[in-house]
Structure 1
Amino acid sequence: MSGVTLRNTVKNYGDLEVIHNVDLEIENGEFCVFVGPSGCGKSTLLRMIAGLEETTAGQITIGGRDVTDLDPSERGVAMVFQTYALYPHMTVKENMGFGLRMNGHPKAEIEAKVTEASRILKLDDYLDRKPKALSGGQRQRVAIGRAIVRGPEVFLFDEPLSNLDAELRVDMRVEIARLHKEIGATMIYVTHDQVEAMTLADKIVVLRGGYIEQVGSPMDLYNDPDNKFVAGFIGSPSMNFLKGVVDDGKVVVPALGEQKISTAVTLPSEGSDVYIGIRPQHITLSAKEGSCVLDLREQLGGVSYDYLVSDSGEKIIIEDRNQNILPTGQRVSFEINQNEIYLFDGETEKRLR
Structure 2
Amino acid sequence: MTGVTLNKAIKRYGATQVIHGVDLTIEDGEFCVFVGPSGCGKSTLLRMIAGLEETSDGQIHIGARDVTHMDPAARGVAMVFQTYALYPHMTVEENMGFGLKMNGVDKAEIKRKVDGASKILKLDDYLSRKPAALSGGQRQRVAIGRSIVRGPEVFLFDEPLSNLDAELRVDMRVEIARLHKELGTTMIYVTHDQVEAMTLADKIVVLRAGYIEQVGSPMDLYKDPDNKFVAGFIGSPAMNFLRGVAEAGGVKVPALADRVIPTTVALPEPGSDVTVGIRPQDMDLTAEPSALSLDIRERLGGVAYDYLTAPTGERLIVETKGDLAMEEGTEVTVSFDETRAMFFDAESEARLR
| Shared fold, TM over 0.5 | yes
User: What's the counterpart of residue 276 of structure 1?
Assistant: 276
Is contact 1:256–1:335 with CA below 8 Å preserved after alignment?
Answer: no
Between the aligned partners of 1:228 and 1:240, the Cα distance in structure 2 is: 10
Counterpart in the other structure of 1:80? 80
What is the CA–CA distance in structure 1 between the aligned matches of 2:241 and 2:35, rounded to whole Å? 21
Kept in 2, the 8 Å contact 1:249–1:270? The answer is no
1:205 corresponds to:
205
Residue of structure 2 equivalent to 1:28: 28
Please identify runs of 4+ aligned residues in structure 1 that moved more than 4 A: none
Q: Which residue in 1 is equivalent to 2:331?
A: 331
Q: Give the Cα–Cα distance (whole angstroms) in 2 for the partners of residues 151 and 220 of structure 1.
A: 32
Which amino acid in 1 is paired with 2:237? P
Counting only pairs closer than 5 Å after superposition, residues 1-353 of structure 1 correspond to structure 2 as 1-353=1-353
Displacement of 1:283 in angstroms is: 1.1
Deviation at 1:292, TM superposition (A): 2.1
Residue 332 of structure 1, CA deviation: 2.6
Q: How far has the Cα of 1:313 moved from its partner?
A: 2.1
SS of equivalent to 1:10: strand
Tell me the matched-pair count. Answer: 353
What SS does the corresponding residue of 1:268 show, helix, strand or coil? coil
Whether contact under 8 Å (1:280, 1:317) holds in the other structure is: yes
C-alpha separation between the residues in 1 aligned to 2:148 and 2:281? Answer: 41
- How far did residue 336 of structure 1 move? 2.0
Query: Are 1:214 and 1:230, in contact at CA under 8 Å, matched by a contact in 2?
Result: yes
Partner of 1:47: helix, strand, or coil?
helix
Which amino acid in 2 is paired with 1:209? A
Q: Tell me the distance in 1 between the aligned counterparts of 2:214 and 2:309.
A: 30
SS in 1 for 2:288: coil
Q: Distance in 2 between matches of 1:79 and 1:253?
A: 48
- Kindly provide the CA deviation profile for residues 256-284 of structure 1, in whole angstroms up to 9, marking residues without a partner as x: 10111210111111221111111112112
State whether residues 284 and 320 of structure 2, in contact with CA within 8 Å, keep that contact through their aligned partners in structure 1. Answer: yes
Q: Output the CA distance in 2 between the equivalents of 1:183 and 1:51.
A: 23
Amino acid corresponding to residue 221 of structure 2 in structure 1: L
Per the alignment, in what secondary structure is the counterpart of residue 277 of structure 2? Answer: strand
Amino acid at match of 2:110: I
| 1:214-256: CA deviation from partner (whole Å, max 9, x where unpaired) | 0001111111111111111111111111110112332110011
Within 2, Cα distance between the matches of 1:197 and 1:130? 32
Distance across 2 between alignment mates of 1:333 and 1:275: 21
Is contact 2:242–2:277 with CA below 8 Å preserved after alignment? yes
Structure 2 gaps, min length 5: none
SS at match of 1:59: strand
Partners of 1:252 and 1:259 within 8 A in 2:
yes
> What SS does the corresponding residue of 1:352 show, helix, strand or coil?
coil
8 Å contact kept, 2:228–2:351: yes
1:322 CA drift (Å)? 4.9
Q: In structure 2, what is the Cα distance between the partners aligned to 1:248 and 1:143?
A: 59
Task: Give identity over the alignment, percent.
Answer: 72
CA contact (8 A) 1:276 1:341 kept: yes
Q: Is the 8 A contact 2:35 2:194 kept in 1?
A: yes
In the alignment, residue 230 of structure 1 is paired with which amino acid?
A: V
TM-score (norm 1): 0.98
Partners in 2 of 1:178 and 1:28 — Cα distance? Answer: 17
Structure 1: state its 5+ residue gaps.
Answer: none
